[in-house]
Structure 1
Amino acid sequence: MSDSPERISLAGRLRNNFLTGLIICAPLAITVWLTFTFIDWADSWVTPYIPQRYDPQYYFNITIPGTGLVVAVLFITIIGFLGKNLIGRSIVNFGESILHRMPLIRTIYRSVKQILETVLKEQSTSFKKCGLIEFPSPGMWALVFISGDASGEIAVKLNQDGEEMVGVFMPPTPVPTAGFLMFVPKSKIVMLDMTPEEGAKLLISGGLIAPEYAPKPAPVPVLPAPDNLSASK
C-alpha cells in the first residue's frame, strides 16, 4: 500500500512529460507536414509544364522539392511586372474582354478577382481589427473580425437612421473555415486591442490561449493655471 502513492506520482510525471512533449512536437510536425504538402501540390501542378532543358531534375536525375513552387513564384512575379506597363496592360485588358463575353466564366472570373483585390489591396482594412458583439442573446459576447464599413446598397438601406453600419465576420470554434457575415451598428461593437492573429489563436484554442493585455494608463489631466499667476503675467 505504501508504494501506491509513488506509483501514482510516477505515472503523473510520465503523463505530464508526454503532454509537454506533445505540445512541443505536434505543432512542429503539423507545420512541416503542411509545408511539404503545399510544396508537393505546387510541384505536381507546375513541374509537368517546365521544358525539359530548364528542369534541374533532368540534369541531376533526382527529385528536387520546391522546383515547381519556385518557378510559379517567378512566373507570377514576371507577369505582375509586365502587367504594369502599357503593352502588358493592353494584353491583360484584351484577355479580360474575351473572358467577359463568356456567360459562366465571366461570373466566376469577376467574383474571384474582386475577392483577391479586396484581400490583397494594400489600403484595405479587412480583418485588421477584432471586436465583440452581443450574440446570440444580450449579455453573451462573441468574437468577430471587422471587415469594414458597409457600402453600396447595403449602406443605403441600413444607414437610414443615421447610424453607421459595420460588416463583421464571426467564425466558429475551433475551425474558422466558415462563419457568418453580419452588419452591426458601430455603437454595438466593443473594439479590442488584440491583433487578428491573436484573435485567431484565441478562437482556435477555444479560449485557452488568451493574449496578454496591459491596460493603457489613463491620461493625466492638465490642470489650468491659477488665476493669480495668469493675472500677474
Structure 2
Amino acid sequence: MRFFKRYFITGLLIWLPLIATVWVLLTLANTLGALVPSFLSPEALFGRRIPGFELVLVLLIILLTGLLFANFIGRALLSRWEALLGRIPLVRSIYNSVKQVSDTLFAPNGQAFREAVLVQYPRRGSWTIAFLTGTPCDEVAGLLQGDFISVYVPTTPNPTSGFFLMMPRADVQMLDMSVEAALKYIVSMGVAAPASTARLHRHALPVAAPVSPDTH
C-alpha cells in the first residue's frame, strides 16, 4: 500500500498540471469558437470541418480590431460607439463596468497588479501577500487621515476572489518579488515559494507627496 501510494501520488502530481492546462486551453478555445456565427464556420466556407478554425478566426478578428482602432480615426469611431451605448440604460451600466475593469487590468499603461506587497491582514501580526492597485479616489482620500494606498488581498488557492483594502502607506511593505511569482506563491498556498524568498529584502513604500486640501 505504501508503494502504491507513493508512486500514485507522484504520477498524479505529474499529470494533474498537464490535464488542468489542457482543460483550460480547450475551454478557452471552445468559448471563443462559439462566438463565430454559422455562416463563417469552416463547413459553410469550405464544406468541411477544420479543427481550430474558429479560434484562429476570433484571434485574427481581435488583432484586426486592435489595428483598426489604434489610429486617430479608429479612436474617434470608438468614442462615438461608446457614446451610443451610453444612451442605453442597462447596456450602459454593464458596458462601463466591464470596460473600466478591462482597461485597468489589461491596458499597457495600467497600474493594476504591478507590485507585490506585504500587509497585515486580517489582524495585526498576521501577514499576507497583496497587490498594489493605486490610491483612493479624491472623495475617499479627503475623508481619510494620512497617506493611504489601495491594495488587493487575494484568497488562496483562488486568487480571482479577494478583498479590496485602503491601508496607510506606512503599514505596507514592498516585496522584491514579481507579480507572477507572488501569484504562484498564493495559488500554491505557500508551498511553491519563490527562489529568492530566502534573501528577500523588504522596505517601506516611498512616501507620496502631500496632497493639497483644496484638490478634494
TM-score (norm 2): 0.82
Letter in 1 for 2:148: M
User: Does the CA-based 8 Å contact 1:132-1:190 persist in structure 2?
Assistant: yes
Post-superposition Cα deviations, 1:171-213, rounded to whole Å, max 9, x if no partner, equal: 2222223111000111101221122222222222222111122
Q: Which runs of 4+ in 1 moved over 4 A?
A: none
Q: State the Cα distance separating 1:58 from its structure 2 match.
A: 4.7
Letter in 2 for 1:124: G
Q: State the Cα distance separating 1:144 from its structure 2 match.
A: 1.1
- Equivalent residue for 1:121, pick from 100, 107, 112: 107
- How many pairs align? 200
Partner of 1:212: 195
Q: 1:132–1:89: structure 2 CA closer, same or farther, 3 Å change rule?
A: closer
Structure 2: stretches of 5+ with no match in the other structure: 202-216
Percent of counterpart pairs with the same letter?
34
User: Does the CA-based 8 Å contact 1:43-1:65 persist in structure 2?
Assistant: no
User: Does the CA-based 8 Å contact 2:104-2:111 persist in structure 1?
Assistant: no
Letter in 1 for 2:4: L
Is 1:82 aligned to residue 65 of structure 2? no
Letter in 2 for 1:98: L
Letter in 2 for 1:145: F
Q: State the Cα distance separating 1:150 from its structure 2 match.
A: 2.6
User: Does the CA-based 8 Å contact 1:40-1:65 persist in structure 2?
Assistant: no
Q: State the Cα distance separating 1:35 from its structure 2 match.
A: 0.8
TM-score (norm 1): 0.77
Structure 1: stretches of 5+ with no match in the other structure: 1-10, 218-233
Letter in 1 for 2:3: R
Q: State the Cα distance separating 1:91 from its structure 2 match.
A: 2.5
Secondary structure of 1:45's counterpart equals coil
Secondary structure of 1:130's counterpart equals strand
Counting helix residues as a fraction of each chain, which structure ranks higher?
1
Partner of 2:57: 71
CA distance in 2, matches of 1:215, 1:43: 46
CA distance in 2, matches of 1:29, 1:117: 31
